[in-house]
Amino acid sequence: MCASLLSPRCYALVPCAGVGERAGNGVPKQYRLVVGRAMVAHTLSALSGVTRLEAILVVLSHGDTQFDQHVPSLGQRGWVARCGGATRAQTVANGLDELLKRGAQPHDWVLVHDAARCLIRAEWVDRLIDACWDDEVGGLLALPVADTLKQAREGRAVATVDRSDKWAAQTPQMFRIGMLQEALAAAGANVTDEASAIEALGYAPRLVKGDVSNLKVTWAEDFEIAAALLNNSGATR
């Protein structure tokens, strides 16, 4: 934990304002049950095991009425703000503003993590912090692409894309609060992850090897995969 005002602190920011339409079922996917608990509850439980996090801010939509039911307690380091935007980028930007209002500084680190990556483990987050702590830019968990990549046109493969330098982005993604604010403001509301906004400023985020189990639950069938992985790991968090 960083006690000095001159030393940066680490905060987690979990955007949790989406509706999860691709997951189906008519319920925001972060509140669908996985092994008896809402998906976001698994995510937050894992993040709470990262001792270097000063606080974990969950950013909800303004009208969210389900979070308190599914996550009745966040602990002393848990913060909630109902200031979500219409897009992920807007939700993250609003969350960064909220962190500053609550005492964070522009030079502090923020780790933005998808609520839908409920299989995250504290040791993976620690790996990212260790790799990026002295980095001038920051970085993200990611995996080298293993599958052959195809370029499609009208439902048909028209070319094979070189995968040798391709990585699949995961979260958390770790950047300075001030730099990320600047990047998101310049990139606009439609960027799909924080690293792409940082890249647009001309910086090159560090790629830190993640884990294949750090699945983003997106489609309906992903819930079965997540449940199986949680059961196999013995995690009841």
Annotated domain spans of the chain? 10-135+171-192+212-233
Could you tell me the pLDDT band of residue 235, with boundaries at 50, 70 and 90? low
Task: Give the dihedral of Cα atoms 11, 124, 30, 9; nearest 10 deg.
Answer: 0
Residues contacting residue 198 through CB under 8 Å, at least 6 positions apart: 137, 138, 175, 179, 180, 183, 205
The Cα angle at residue 175 between residues 135 and 230, in degrees rounded to 5: 105
- Residue 5: the pLDDT is 52
Tell me how far apart the alpha carbons of residues 165 and 160 are, in angstroms, rounded to a whole number: 14
Could you tell me the pLDDT band of residue 26, with boundaries at 50, 70 and 90? low
Identify the residue with better confidence: 54 or 233: 54
The chain-wide mean pLDDT, for the chain, equals 92
Confidence check: pLDDT of 58 > 60: yes
pLDDT digits (tens, 9 = 90+) for 97-132: 999 999 999 999 999 999 999 999 999 999 999 999
Please give the single-letter amino acid code of residue 6. L
70 burial class (0-12, 13-18, 19+ CB within 10 angstroms)? middle
Question: Is the CB of residue 173 less than 8 Å from the CB of residue 216?
Answer: no
Residues contacting residue 44 through CB under 8 Å, at least 6 positions apart: 14, 56, 58, 71, 74, 78
- Residue 2: the pLDDT is 40
Q: How far is CA 149 from CA 56, 155, 157, 192, 213, in A?
A: 36, 14, 10, 20, 20
- Residue 228: the pLDDT is 94
Mean pLDDT value of segment 135-140 = 98
Mean pLDDT value of segment 193-211 = 98
pTM, to two decimals: 0.92
Q: Does domain 10-135+171-192+212-233 have CATH number 3.90.550.10?
A: yes
Q: How far is CA 57 from CA 31, 32, 147, 154, 230, in A?
A: 17, 20, 35, 42, 24
Instruction: Tokens for 208, please give them.
Output: 């830190």
Question: Is the CB of residue 178 less than 8 Å from the CB of residue 167?
Answer: no
Instruction: Flag the least confident range among 19-33, 68-82, 118-132, 135-149.
Output: 19-33
- Residue 3: the pLDDT is 42
Q: For 77-124, what is the HEC assignment?
A: CEEEEECCCCCHHHHHHHHHHHHHHCCCCCCCEEEECCCCCCCCCHHH
Task: Give the dihedral of Cα atoms 206, 15, 44, 24; nearest 10 deg.
Answer: -110
- Residue 188: the pLDDT is 87
Could you tell me the pLDDT band of residue 233, with boundaries at 50, 70 and 90? confident
Confidence check: pLDDT of 92 > 50: yes
